[in-house]
Amino acid sequence: MKPDIHPQYGTTVVTCSCGHTFTTRSTAKNGQIHAETCSECHPFYTGKQRVLDTAGRVAKFQQKYAKAAAKKAK
């Protein structure tokens, strides 16, 4: 095996956008990782799931591009 080909595996501080921090081990070079979600704020772990209005989003998208298609057809 080749010597010295693996990155250093050191202690890393992970900071979530909610403000929660915890320490783990990683190969991150600066020793810090910034995450968008963690187990403290992710809906799967907290049980506070949001329902997304996907039907409304699809209708809005179709209305938006129906106008463009009508202009193109003329």
Q: Is 21 helix (H, G, I), strand (E, B) or coil?
A: strand
In 3D space, the residue among 47, 7, 15, 18 whose CA is nearest the CA of residue 33 turns out to be 15
52 assigned to a ligand binding site: no
Q: Is 25 annotated as a binding residue?
A: no
CA distance 12 to 24: 5
Residue 64 labelled as part of a binding site: no
Q: Tell whether residue 41 is among the known ligand binding residues.
A: yes
Binding residues for Zn(2+): 16, 18, 38, 41
Binding residues: 16, 18, 38, 41
